[in-house]
Amino acid sequence: MYAQMIKSTGEGVKSRDEMSPEEAAFQEKVDADIKIEPRDWMPEGYRKTLIRQIGQHAHSEIVGQLPEGNWITRAPTLERKMILLAKVQDEAGHGLYLYSAAETLGVTRDELTEALLTGKMKYSSIFNYPTLNWADIGAVGWLVDGAAIMNQVPLQRTSYGPYSRAMIRICKEESFHQRQGYDIMMKMAQGTPEQKKMAQDALNRYWYPSLMMFGPSDAESVHSAQSMAWKIKVNTNDELRQKFVDQTVPQAEYLGLTVPDENLKWNEEKGGHDFSEPDWTEFFDVLKGNGPCNTDRLNARVKAWEDGEWVRDGLLAHAEKKAARKVAAE
């Protein structure tokens, strides 16, 4: 997902007897679907896990600007260019809401940025894959935003108030993105032979990385169990991946494109598709920094931050001068 492999306390879920009175009261609120707000008491593990999760989600939105931004100057029509630019701008906005939500937990945006740039915090593996032809812009909207929605729709009900509210705003825009992406795919799939080739090529390259977005199976994970008890994770990775495949396969068929999986078939008994697992070795390589674009993506963010330092300093210095002049005038 946009947040992958998030570690919680690692100690597993406490039973009621092991909980302090504060912890028990907190868990009762969560169980009763009462939102936790920034000023409320919360376990330290809950706060830290949320910072990791929201922070990683925010970083994914920001780094996620890069693969699609790669095509803004080459978009084939004025309308496509505007739609893409507006989409990438939305992603920056998502980053902004999420950093603000994380700030309510006592961490600053600058601290989170620092952690991203030094590699201490991660962003979603998907954004380490390149966008190589125009249909990739369609595939990213259709598959990547599509996978993001799978995870984020349930998170609208997450226990932490600011996170839940950010998700509600974000989900509306993500479903636009997905429709716009599918619309590009439709045009390409119905277009010239070259366009159709681009569409198939994009699906071939983005299929498995999209499945990886949900993370490896976590049914046995103590981290996931704790996160689910806290309602900052709602479904298991496998549940979401299955849902995604079941939703996407008919869409690919409608486009006349072939999902690159020989084992893909409808399983009547389970009421879902059987499909091949992605290559998890590749996934862990990407997380370690060895994806096709990790170095470029991080360098681009570091460069933007370093090149922008004089701007941030300049604007701050001016704001201070202005405030001082105002005080002097009073």
Partner 1 sequence: MAEVDKTQLAQFLLRMGDNTLILGHRVSEWCGHSPVLEEDIALANTALDLLGQTSLWLGYAAEVRGTGETADDVAFLRDAWDFRNLLLVELPNGDFGRTMMRQFLFDAFHSVLLGRLLQSSDQTVREIAEKASKEVAYHVERSADTVVGLGDGTEESHARMQAALDYLWPYVGEMFASDETDRALAAAGVAPDPANLRDDFDALIGKVLAEATLHIPDSDFAHKGGRTGAMHTEHLGHILCQMQWLQRVYPNANW
Which option in Fe ion, partner 1, none does residue 174 bind, with CB closer than 5 to 8 A by kind? Fe ion
- Binding residues among 183-212 for partner 1 as defined by CB under 8 A: 184, 187, 191-192, 194-195
Count how many Cα atoms sit within 13 Å of the Cα of residue 145 in the half-sphere of its side chain: 27
The interface partner of residue 177, options being partner 1, Fe ion, none and the CB cut-off 5 to 8 Å by kind, is Fe ion
Rounded (to 5) percent helix, strand, coil in the chain: 70, 0, 30
Q: Which of 80, 94, 205, 297 binds Fe ion (CB under 5 A)?
A: 94
Cα separation, 160 vs 254, whole angstroms: 39
Q: Which is nearer to Fe ion, 94 or 297 (CB)?
A: 94
211-242: b (≥16 Cβ within 10 Å) or e: bbbbbbebeebebbbbbbbbbbbbbbbeebbb
User: Cα dist. 187→182, 183, 195 in Å?
Assistant: 9, 6, 8
Which amino acid appears at position 252 of this protein? A
* Interface pick for partner 1 out of 93, 154, 161, 260 (rule CB under 8 A): 93
Structure tokens at 275: 């499909």
Residue 303 as a binder of partner 1 (CB under 8 A): the answer is: yes
Q: Which stretch binds partner 1 (CB under 8 A): 6-14, 19-27, 226-234, 315-323?
A: 315-323
Residue 228 sits in the site that holds partner 1 (CB under 8 A): no
Q: CB under 8 Å to 176, separation ≥6 — which residues?
A: 87, 90
Shortest distance, CB of residue 132 to partner 1, whole angstroms? 13
> By the 8 A CB rule, do 283 and 216 touch?
yes
User: Are 211 and 244 a contacting pair, CB within 8 Å?
Assistant: yes
| Spatial separation of the C-alpha atoms in residues 162 and 104, rounded to whole Å | 8
Nearer to Fe ion, 26 or 123 (CB): 123
Which DSSP state fits 266? E
Minimal CA–CA distance to 50: which of 212, 220, 166, 170? 166
The one among 57, 59, 177, 223 contacting Fe ion by CB under 5 A: 177
**Of the candidate residues 86, 302, 323, 324, the single one contacting partner 1 (CB under 8 A):** 86
Q: Which does 232 bind (CB under 5 to 8 A by kind): Fe ion, partner 1, none?
A: none
Residue 24 interacts, among partner 1, Fe ion, none and using kind-specific CB cut-offs from 5 to 8 Å, with none
Task: Give the residue, chosen from 80, 177, 223, 241, that forms a contact with partner 1 under the rule CB under 8 A.
Answer: 80
In the complex, the residues that contact partner 1 under the rule CB under 8 A are 62, 65-66, 69, 72-82, 85-86, 88-89, 92-93, 95-96, 99, 109, 134, 184, 187, 191-192, 194-195, 300, 303-305, 307-319, 321
